[in-house]
Amino acid sequence: MATAQKEAFIIEGLAGEKKLSGTVRIHGAKNAALKAIAASVLFAGPVRLENVPKTADIETLSKILRKLGAKVEWKKGGTGKDAVDLLEIDTTTMNSIEIDAELAGSMRASVVLTGPMLARFGKVTFPAPGGCVIGTRPIDLFLSGYEKMGAMAVLDEAACVHRIEAYKNAKGTGTGKGLLAGTEIFFNKVSVGGTETLMMAAVLAEGTTVLKNCAMEPEIVNVAEWLIACGAKITGVGTPVITIEGTGGELLKPTHFYTTIPDRIETGSFLILGALLARDLTIENCRPDHVESVVSLLTEAGVPIKIGASTITISGNTAANSSFKTIADLRTHEYPGFPTDLQPVIVAYLTQVTGESKIFETIYEGRFKYVEDLKKLGASITIMNPREIEVKGPTPLRHLPGEGDLTAYDIRAGFAVVMAALSGSGTFKVINIHLIDRGYEKLEAQLSSLGAQIKRVVV
């Protein structure tokens, strides 16, 4: 869990050798759990969420809800060795519609709260969302969607906040009770956040909402299936067209627990790390079908991978990384394509593979800031433009004279830099690790269990 003090990782490199071995258990998907936490606003009573990772982002969103008056607390479910941590949320005590600016500014995902809050309370005030420095993610898509559903958005420039209020639908079909109205929305650009947020907003709306050109990520399906089990009328989830029949303001009943699916980005991260640094690695409690794009690339490259029902195993991985087949051209893509969140991680891997690779980032511009840190270690990477880089390998990684500490610029770039340091020769310090804590729970403990020499220190 992240703390207010500044911390860093001290890492002893493996000098390119595959010395890691063991088992890693995958946590719940933070990108699904965050949306389930936001969806708790749609319920008339306390909800319980299972398999929620204890990452910094989860704690931040929990704090935001507490500031709004909700009760959010960890509880134990089951007994003895079967006891598990549950996150219980009761939003019936919420007494504010103003999302805390300081907390929301630390994570972009906070904007997802606006949909459920606007649907339930008819109004919401929120700041411009913040978070990782990986390019712009405009909120116009959210605002235009709300306006189509019969809400008015006003930017209060003096307070630096957006104030949104639902009103009687201009078509004359609204109730005048501050309900959003069903409508048809086409996303000009596939958006995970837009799909999730407007889907949740539509659950309590009056009438039918049809969302087109939707994102199809498993995290969206995971949350939607829970809402459906509790009374929401949603069809088409996991396809480009989602239809929601609104309840007309009636809150959902908390009749079912929510169980977070395994984190596919954490799975992919350890799968790529294992290909680079592990002789033998078993990844358990995962969904292999959610990382098919990664498995396919690594298998084609020559990495020995075996797939189980809920496990992925790299066994007998003794060949030199330089003998692996390179990836000539790789484009990030919306699910089920190669995830943008694994782009920095695969680039760190490609620095050790023989040949040239071109990586094209289709989702977010400005996601190559971490490249300078890999180049500090001797990696041969050229930034062609804000969306394209060329990687030439293999290049031995080491701490070059005169270069400073390594920096985690965002969650996934942080993992990539840690992986590169582990692959290198010498001792490395990685700073800004509070960003890594946003997406990975106790990363140093996981890596240490595999044999890595990594420790967390206060700086």
Catalytic, out of 132, 214, 230, 286: 132
d(CA 268, CA 305) in angstroms, rounded, equals 13
Whether a cis peptide bond, with omega within 30° of 0, leads into 344 is no
Name the helix (H) or strand (E) containing 313: strand 311-314
Distance CA 94, CA 70 (A): 5
Among the listed residues 284, 259, 229, 266, the one whose alpha carbon sits nearest the alpha carbon of residue 52: 259
Phi–psi pair at 308, nearest 5 degrees: -110, -175
Whether the Cβ atoms of residue 403 and residue 376 lie closer than 8 Å to each other: yes
Residue 333 is encoded by which pair of tokens?
């893509």
Hey, which residues does 313 pair with through a beta bridge? Answer: 282, 306
The pairing of beta strand 278-284 with beta strand 20-25: parallel
Q: Give the count of beta carbons closer than 10 Å to the beta carbon of residue 309.
A: 7
Q: Give the residue among 264, 189, 162 at the shortest CA–CA distance from 221.
A: 264
Positive/negative CA dihedral, 298, 301, 303, 307 = positive
Q: Is 286 a catalytic residue?
A: no
Catalytic residue IDs: 132
